A and B are shown apart, each in its own frame.
Chain A
Amino acid sequence: AQKVTQAQTEISVVEKEDVTLDCVYETRDTTYYLFWYKQPPSGELVFLIRRNSFDEQNEISGRYSWNFQKSTSSFNFTITASQVVDSAVYFCALSEPHSGGGADGLTFGKGTHLIIQP
């Protein structure tokens, strides 16, 4: 069975610090997809990134970067020069696509509550 672990329940940093959110996953499939979502205080989940298991290239998008390492089954998320607006709960999620189509429900980690203090 697939599983996603976000060991950090809550992280608090001061604005402008860099912060890394950890995500470790378990799956028996060789083909799978990893996601990060942000849930701000308003409650609506916002998609951040999707990465397939064959693409281990790290990704950078502005102040956000993601480090995917299959050898350690990790997909960590780093925010550089954090800002108060980054305060949110962040979820890592895993999906294993069905062969021949069909829907793919996500398996979520329990989330990391990130608090950026001014």
Chain B
Amino acid sequence: DVKVTQSSRYLVKRTGEKVFLECVQDMDHENMFWYRQDPGLGLRLIYFSYDVKMKEKGDIPEGYSVSREKKERFSLILESASTNQTSMYLCASSFPGGLSYEQYFGPGTRLTVT
């Protein structure tokens, strides 16, 4: 079974803090993704990566950055957390693009910024 794990289920941070959300997958997938999920808005793509050290902006990258130093690990970074970044963050991974394989999701990290 594909396993996507996220470092925390719940996280509480203060405004202005630097926040790291970690995601690890064990299926040797090339592609990894970060989404945020908000009530009434569904899931929105923040960033994705199709290879180590490669990254692409998604639909809502403002206020976020990412890091992919190893194939299995994809980190989402909030340089200076703000209250409007309070959300559920979901990581996903998939096989290489071109055929758009299904994405496998982690359990999510519910981040609260106070």
- Whether A106 sits at the interface, judged by CB under 8 Å, is yes
B102 touches A47 (CB 8 A): yes
Binds B, one of A12-20, A78-86, A107-115: A107-115
- Whether A55 sits at the interface, judged by CB under 8 Å, is no
B48 touches A47 (CB 8 A): no
- Whether A43 sits at the interface, judged by CB under 8 Å, is yes
A108 touches B100 (CB 8 A): no
Residues of B within 8 A of A (CB): 30-33, 35, 40-45, 48-50, 56, 58-59, 88, 90, 92, 94, 96-108
* Given contacts A95-B100, A97-B99, A111-B42, A44 and B48 within 8 Å (CB-CB): no
Question: Closest residue to A95 on the B side, CB-wise?
Answer: B100
- Whether A7 sits at the interface, judged by CB under 8 Å, is no
The prevalent SS among residues of A at the interface is loop
B100, chain A: closest CB distance, angstroms:
4
B107 touches A43 (CB 8 A): yes
**In the complex, A95 Cα to B102 Cα: how many Å?**
10
The size bracket of the interface on A is 20 to 34
Instruction: Report B-chain residues with C-beta under 8 Å of the C-beta of A99.
Output: 98
Instruction: Report A-chain residues with C-beta under 8 Å of the C-beta of B101.
Output: 50
B105 touches A103 (CB 8 A): no
**In the complex, A44 Cα to B92 Cα: how many Å?**
11
A110 touches B97 (CB 8 A): no
Contacting residue for B108 out of A37, A43, A52, CB 8 A: A43
